[in-house]
Amino acid sequence: MTEKLHAPVIDWFDSHARDLPWRRPEAGPWGVMVSEFMLQQTPVSRVLPVYEQWLARWPRPADLAKEPPGEAVRAWGRLGYPRRALRLHGAAVAITERHGGDVPTDHAQLLALPGIGEYTAAAVASFAYGQRHPVLDTNVRRVFARAVTGVRYPPNATTAAERRLARELLPEEDDTAARWAAASMELGALVCTAKNEECHRCPIAAQCAWRLAGKPEHEGPPRRGQTYAGTDRQVRGKLLAVLRDAHVPVPQTALDRVWHEPVQRARALDGLVTDGLVEPLPGGMYRLPLG
C-alpha cells in the first residue's frame, strides 16, 4: 500500500504543484523558514505579499535580528496570530548568535530554536534541506486520514497514531521522502480539501480507503469552527493596527477609540502586553516592543 501511494502522488505534484516563491531554489532555507511561520493558520493568498516584502527587507536572519522585535510585528501586518512574528524574530536572533547567521541543517538544532516546534523543524529540514522527516500539517493529516485510515477527518489534535502512520508512510530515500512530504501537503491543499473534495482529480482515488468505504460521515468530535467578529482576537487586531501605523508612542486615548466596550478592550490590551507584543510606557503611552 505504502509504495503504491508514493509514485502517483509525487507524479501528480510534479505536474500540478503551484509555483510558490518559497519553493524556488533562490528562497533558500531562510525563505522556507519564513514561509512556514507565515503559513500557519493563514492561506497562501494572504501570505504571498507579506512574504515578498519580508524577504526583500530581511533577506537573511541577521538582517531581521538587528531590528527591534516591534519591527517584525509591524511588518507582519494583518496576517493574524502576531506572536508568530515575535517567535520568528527570536529564531533569527538565535540563528545569528548560535549558527553564524545560517539556518541550521540539523533537525535537533532547528527544534532547539525559540518558537520552533516539531512541525516547523521537520518542514524546514525536509523542504529546505531535502531530509527524511514526517511533516504533518492539517492538509497532510487529512490526506492520510482519508486515503489510509478511511475516515473523513483526522482528530482535532495530532495523535501518536498519526505520527506513527506518517513515519510508516515515509519513503526510504531522503530526496523521495522530502518530495513526498511536499506532494502530500499540496494534494490536501488543492484536491483533498476539507470541503468539496475533488476525487475525480485525485491520483490515488482508486486506493482511497474513505472513498472505497462510500465516504462515511465524520463520527468524531465536532469540527472546531473559527470565529473572529466580536472576539478578543478582533480587538487585539484593532489595537495592534493603531500601533503598527504609528512610529511614535500612542496614548491610551487613541487605543480607546478602536473598541467601544472598555472591559474587553482592557483585557485585550493587557493580553498584548503580557504576550510581549505591546510595550507600556509612563504616562499611559504604548508602542511596539523595542527589545
Active-site amino acid positions:
36
Sort 211 into a burial class: Cβ within 10 Å, 0-12 / 13-18 / 19+: middle
Query: In this structure, which amino acid lies at residue 104?
Result: P
Residue 278: all three cell numbers together: 505591546
Residue whose C-alpha cell reads 487613541 in the numeric block? 254
Angstrom distance (rounded) from CA 237 to CA 48: 20
Q: Closest by alpha carbon to 239, among 208, 212, 207, 275?
A: 275
End-to-end CA distance of the chain: 52
Residue 149: all three cell numbers together: 485510515
Residues 72, 60 contacting (CB under 8 angstroms): no
Q: At what angle do helices 28-39 and 44-57 cross, to 10 degrees?
A: 140
Q: Looking at the DSSP assignment, which residues form a beta bridge with residue 287?
A: 279
Question: What phi and psi, each to the nearest 5 degrees, are found at residue 5?
Answer: -80, -35
Query: In this structure, which amino acid lies at residue 149?
Result: T
Alpha carbon 272 to chain centroid, angstroms: 21
Q: Looking at the DSSP assignment, which residues form a beta bridge with residue 286?
A: 250, 280
Residues 90, 115 contacting (CB under 8 angstroms): yes
